[in-house]
């Protein structure tokens, strides 16, 4: 299997200026070549909504909204996949959503574990954890606070994910460390893409990263400034769950004991 290139784009969006933020990200992405791009949670709108009305006004339909259409056009022209976070409007409900875009189409993952005031603005996600394929590589998506729950990443790994993409707006310091642990315990590559900068009282920690299936850091962004970088991985490494000659991380699971 040839190397698979994962790009992360850590941006500092102008609050609620979707067109400007989207154009800025696409310009940065066009200067590099990647098979998969991961962008932050709410990369085009910013995050610190003052109230539900403001959050809902920023939301758009998927896949018909302008942000998803722009990403889909880029993916088709460049032959890449994109995982990016945005607020989604679906009928009378609103979700914190990651669009999973390939040249063949768009899927959506709705955030399962809402954080803080997100619970005032959005409904809990109702999409099962799933994988999609691009260039023969199986990719799963989580969003930000999902990192706290090991069941989420494990579910994707059991479904065959080789790469887990995580759009984020992290303000707590532990996410990058824990995602390395998720890589180790599941033998998967993880691509955590955070934003940087400040909105209101929130300061985002940056520190986006790509972690190897052994938990090693393959690519790391700084804390306070924008960053666009690409790491080449060997995705077949995520298919080998052996830890030692005696141990297989999935084969050694004791599902007979994992119950209440």
Angstrom distances, CA of residue 115 to CA of 23, 168, 170, 248 = 28, 11, 10, 34
Closest by CA position to 98, among listed 217, 205, 193, 226: 193
1 has a pLDDT exceeding 90: no
Q: What percent of the chain has pLDDT over 90?
A: 99
- Name the domain count of the chain: 1
Q: What is the pLDDT of residues 236-248, one digit of tens each?
A: 999 999 999 999 9
pTM: 0.98
- Is 129 contained in some domain? yes
Give the single-character DSSP code of 43. T
- Is 199 contained in some domain? yes
What does the longest C-alpha to C-alpha distance in the chain come to?
Answer: 56
Q: Bridge partners of 255?
A: none
Structure tokens at 237: 């490494």
74 has a pLDDT exceeding 90: yes
Collect contacts of 20-23 with beta carbons under 8 A, ≥24 apart: 21/45, 21/46, 22/66, 22/67, 22/70, 22/71
Catalytic sites, residue numbers: 41, 111, 144
- Is 216 contained in some domain? yes
| Strands 81-90 vs 93-102: parallel, antiparallel or unpaired | antiparallel
For the residues 104-131, what does the mean pLDDT come to?
99
- 190/28 Cα distance (integer angstroms): 21
- Is 220 contained in some domain? yes
For the residues 4-19, what does the mean pLDDT come to?
99
Mean pLDDT for the chain overall: 98
- Is 123 contained in some domain? yes
Q: What is the pLDDT of residues 42-59, one digit of tens each?
A: 999 999 999 999 999 999
Strands (E), the chain: 4-10, 36-38, 81-90, 93-102, 105-110, 131-134, 137-141, 163-167, 189-193, 198-199, 202-203, 209-211, 217-220, 227-233
Give the single-character DSSP code of 214. T
Q: What is the pLDDT of residues 24-35, one digit of tens each?
A: 999 999 999 999
Q: Bridge partners of 101?
A: 82, 106
Q: The domain that contains 73 carries what CATH number?
A: 3.60.110.10
Closest by CA position to 35, among listed 138, 122, 106, 121: 138
Q: What is the pLDDT of residues 176-210, one digit of tens each?
A: 999 999 999 999 999 999 999 999 999 999 999 99
Q: Which domain holds residue 220?
A: 4-239
- 114/231 Cα distance (integer angstroms): 29
- Is 169 contained in some domain? yes
- Is 247 contained in some domain? no
């Amino acid at each position: 299997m040839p190397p698979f290139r994962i790009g992360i784009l850590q941006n500092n969006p102008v609050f609620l200026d979707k067109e400007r933020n989207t154009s800025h990200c696409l310009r940065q992405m066009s200067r590099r070549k990647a098979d998969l791009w991961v962008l932050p949670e709410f990369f085009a709108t910013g995050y610190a909504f003052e109230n539900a009305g403001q959050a809902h006004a920023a939301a758009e339909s998927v896949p018909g909204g302008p942000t998803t259409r722009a990403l889909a056009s880029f993916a088709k022209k460049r032959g890449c996949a994109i995982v990016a976070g945005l607020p989604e409007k679906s009928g009378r409900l609103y979700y914190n959503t990651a669009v999973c875009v390939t040249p063949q189409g768009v899927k959506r993952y709705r955030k399962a574990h809402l954080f803080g005031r997100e619970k005032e603005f959005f409904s809990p996600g109702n999409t099962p954890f799933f994988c999609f394929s691009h260039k023969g590589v199986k990719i799963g998506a989580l969003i930000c606070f999902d990192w706290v729950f090991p069941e989420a990443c494990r579910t994707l790994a059991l479904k065959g994910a080789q790469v887990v993409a995580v759009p984020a707006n992290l303000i707590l310091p532990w996410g990058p460390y824990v995602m390395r642990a998720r890589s180790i315990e599941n033998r998967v590559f993880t691509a955590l893409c955070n934003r940087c900068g400040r909105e209101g009282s929130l300061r985002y920690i940056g520190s986006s990263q790509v972690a190897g299936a052994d938990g090693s850091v393959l690519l790391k962004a700084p804390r306070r400034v924008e960053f666009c970088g690409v790491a080449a991985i060997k995705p077949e490494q995520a298919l080998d769950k052996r830890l030692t000659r005696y141990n297989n991380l999935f084969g050694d699971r004791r599902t007979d004991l994992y119950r209440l």
